[in-house]
Amino acid sequence: MNYIPIALIMAAYASARAATIVNEDPAEGGIGYAWTIQIGANETVTTPNVEDANVGVWSWHDTAFAGAENMGWTHTSSWAAVEVTEAVYLTITMGRNASVPFLEGVRDTQYLFPSFTIWSGWDNTGSDNHTYQNNGLVPWAEGLTQLQGFVSNTTETTASLTLYLEPGLYTVAMGSHGPATGGLPRQGFYTNFTTVPEPSAALLATAAMGVMGLRRRR
C-alpha cells in the first residue's frame, strides 16, 4: 500500500499567500461596504492602516435601543464584502489598532471590544437602514441569506472565529461592544482573514503531488 508522506500533507498547509483587499464597495446600493476581499485556500489578508479602519464604540451592539436586543449601528460598523473562491476554513481575527490615522494623530483604541458577524451573500440592492440585527438575518438586507456566525465580546482586546465556508459571497459586519459611556471617539481596528484548505481538498492536492513525485523518480 502506498502512503502519502506526511511532508506532502503539511505542504498543503504551507505559509499563506496574500489574498486581495481593496478599500471600496463592490457595487452601489444596499450595504455600504468599506472593504472588498477575495480569498482562497492558504491565503491571508489584513485591513490596512487607513482612515476607514475605524468603528464606533457601540457599533456592533448598542444597549441604548430600548426594547430591542442585539442591535448594531449600520453606519458606525465597518462592512466587508468577502468572496471565498474555494472550500476553506476561514479564521477572522479582529483587534485594536493604534496606527489608524486621524487628523494629525491616530485613532483611540481603549474602548474597542471587537465583535463581528458573518452572513452568506452580499447586499447591493435597495437602501440600508440605521440599525441591523447582529445575531440573525437583517430584514432590510435581502442579499444576506444565512447567518454563519458571530462573536459578542465585552472583555477582550481581540476576538476570533473559525468556520468552514463553501465557495461563495459573504458579508462581515465589524464593530465594537463597548461600555455604555457617552461622548466616546471612534476606535481604530484591524481585522485579519486567514484560510486553510478544507481537509479533503488538501488531501487531494497532496496526493497529486505524491503522484507527480513518483513519476519524476521513474
CATH of the domain at 135: 2.60.120
Strands of 168-176's sheet in order across: 20-22, 35-39, 78-84, 168-176, 114-120, 146-151
Question: How many angstroms separate the CA atoms of 153 and 144, rounded?
Answer: 23
Mean pLDDT of 146-166: 98
How many domains, the chain?
1
**In the predicted structure, residue 9 carries a pLDDT above the cut 60:** no
Position 67 scores a pLDDT of 64
Q: Does some domain include residue 71?
A: yes
Neighbours of 195 (CB within 10 A): 25
Domain region containing 109: 21-217
- Among 6, 19, 8, smallest CA distance to 83 is for 19
Q: Which residue has the higher pLDDT, 77 or 205?
A: 77
Q: Distance from CA of residue 145 to its chain's centroid?
A: 17
Position 82 scores a pLDDT of 98
Per-residue model confidence as pLDDT tens digits over 166-193: 999 999 999 999 998 888 999 999 999 9
Per-residue model confidence as pLDDT tens digits over 111-125: 999 999 999 999 999
Cell triple for residue 32? 455600504
The residues, ordered by sequence, that sit 6+ positions from 199 with a Cβ below 8 Å of its Cβ are: none
Q: Does some domain include residue 16?
A: no
Position 211 scores a pLDDT of 39
Q: Does some domain include residue 2?
A: no
Q: Does some domain include residue 99?
A: yes
Q: Does some domain include residue 27?
A: yes
Neighbours of 79 (CB within 10 A): 23
Q: Which value, in Å, is the radius of gyration of the alpha carbons in the chain?
A: 20
Q: Does some domain include residue 4?
A: no
**In the predicted structure, residue 156 carries a pLDDT above the cut 50:** yes
Q: Does some domain include residue 12?
A: no
Mean pLDDT of 11-22: 75
**In the predicted structure, residue 38 carries a pLDDT above the cut 90:** yes
Q: Which residue has the higher pLDDT, 218 or 41?
A: 41
Question: How many angstroms separate the CA atoms of 91 and 98, rounded?
Answer: 22
The residues, ordered by sequence, that sit 6+ positions from 168 with a Cβ below 8 Å of its Cβ are: 83, 84, 120, 121
Mean pLDDT of the chain: 87
Q: Does some domain include residue 3?
A: no
**In the predicted structure, residue 140 carries a pLDDT above the cut 50:** yes
What is the percent of the chain where pLDDT is above 90? Answer: 77
